[in-house]
Amino acid sequence: MAGEELFYLPVTDLARRIEAKTLSPVDLTQLYLSRSEKFGPRLNAYARLTPEIALAQAAAAEKEIRRGHYRGPLHGIPYAAKDLLAVKGVPVTWGAKPYADQVFDYDATVIEHLNRAGAVMIGKASMIELAGGMNYRFASASLQGEAKNPWNTNCWTCGSSSGSGAIVAAGLAAFAIGTETWGSIICPSAFCGVSGMRPTYGRVSKYGAMALAPSMDKIGPMARSAEDCARIFAVLAGHDPKDHSTLAVDKAAFTYSPSMELKARSLTVGWLTNAWKSVDPGVAKIADATEKSLHKIFPTVHRAALPQGPWDDVGNVIMGTEGAASFRELIRSGKVSELADPLGQINGYVNEQISAADYWQASKIREQLQGKMADLFDSFDVIATVSQPLPATSLDFNLETGLSFPDPLGAIGNLCGLPALSVPCGFTDKHLPVGVQFVARAGDDFGVIQAARTFQGHSDWHKRHPKLI
Amino acid sequence: MADKPEPELRADVASAEGKTRGGMSRREFARRAALASAVASIAPATAVRARTPTFGQSTTQDPPPPAAAAAQNPMPGAPKLSAESQSEADARFQAILVLYGARFSAEQKNDLHRLCAVVQPALDHIRAYKVENGDGPALYLKPQYEREKKPKVAAAPAKPAPASNGPGKKP
Q: Chunked in runs of 10, what are the mean pLDDT values of chain A (469 residues)? A: 85 98 98 98 98 98 98 98 98 98 98 98 98 97 98 98 98 98 98 98 98 98 98 98 94 90 86 96 98 97 97 97 98 98 98 98 97 96 98 96 89 98 98 98 97 96 93
d(CA A33, CA A91): 19
Chain A residues 196-225 with CB within 8 Å of chain B: 206-211, 215
d(CA A4, CA A1): 9
Does A360 lie at the interface with B, CB-CB under 8 angstroms?
yes
Looking at residue B155, its pLDDT comes to 59
Residue B170 has pLDDT above 50, yes or no: no
Residue range B99-156, pLDDT digits in tens: 999 999 999 999 999 999 999 999 999 999 999 999 999 987 777 665 666 777 765 5
Angle between helix B106-118 and helix B83-100 axes, rounded to 10 deg: 140
Cα separations (Å) of A350 from A252, A324, A405, B36, B171? 36, 9, 20, 16, 25
Looking at residue B73, its pLDDT comes to 53
ipTM of model: 0.94
- Residues B74-90, mean pLDDT to the nearest whole number: 92
Q: Which domains does chain A have, with CATH numbers?
A: 4-463 (3.90.1300.10)
Assign residue A21 a region: left if phi > 0, alpha if psi is -120 to 50, beta otherwise?
left
Do residue B131 and residue A215 have CB atoms under 8 angstroms apart? no
Residue A192 in contact with residue A150, Cβ under 8 Å?
yes
Residue B10 has pLDDT above 60, yes or no: no
Looking at residue A143, its pLDDT comes to 98
Do residue A404 and residue B53 have CB atoms under 8 angstroms apart? yes
pTM, rounded to two decimals: 0.86
Distance between A440 CA and the closest CA of chain B, angstroms: 19
Residue B7 has pLDDT above 50, yes or no: no
Residues of B in contact with A243 (CB under 8 A): 168
Do residue A358 and residue B59 have CB atoms under 8 angstroms apart? no
Chain A residues 74-113 with CB within 8 Å of chain B: 84, 86, 92, 94, 102, 104, 106, 108
Residue range B11-68, pLDDT digits in tens: 333 333 333 333 344 444 344 444 334 333 333 222 222 332 333 333 334 434 433 4
Across A315-353, b (16+ Cβ under 10 Å) vs e yields: bbbbbbbbbbebbeebbeeeebbbbbbbbbbbbbbbbbb
Looking at residue A415, its pLDDT comes to 97
* Residue among A183, A361, A364 minimizing CB distance to B54: A183
Do residue A345 and residue B108 have CB atoms under 8 angstroms apart? yes
Distance between A209 CA and the closest CA of chain B, angstroms: 5
* Order of all β-strands in the sheet with A120-125: A46-49, A120-125, A78-82, A175-180, A218-223, A195-198, A420-427, A433-440, A382-386, A268-272, A300-304
Does A154 lie at the interface with B, CB-CB under 8 angstroms?
no
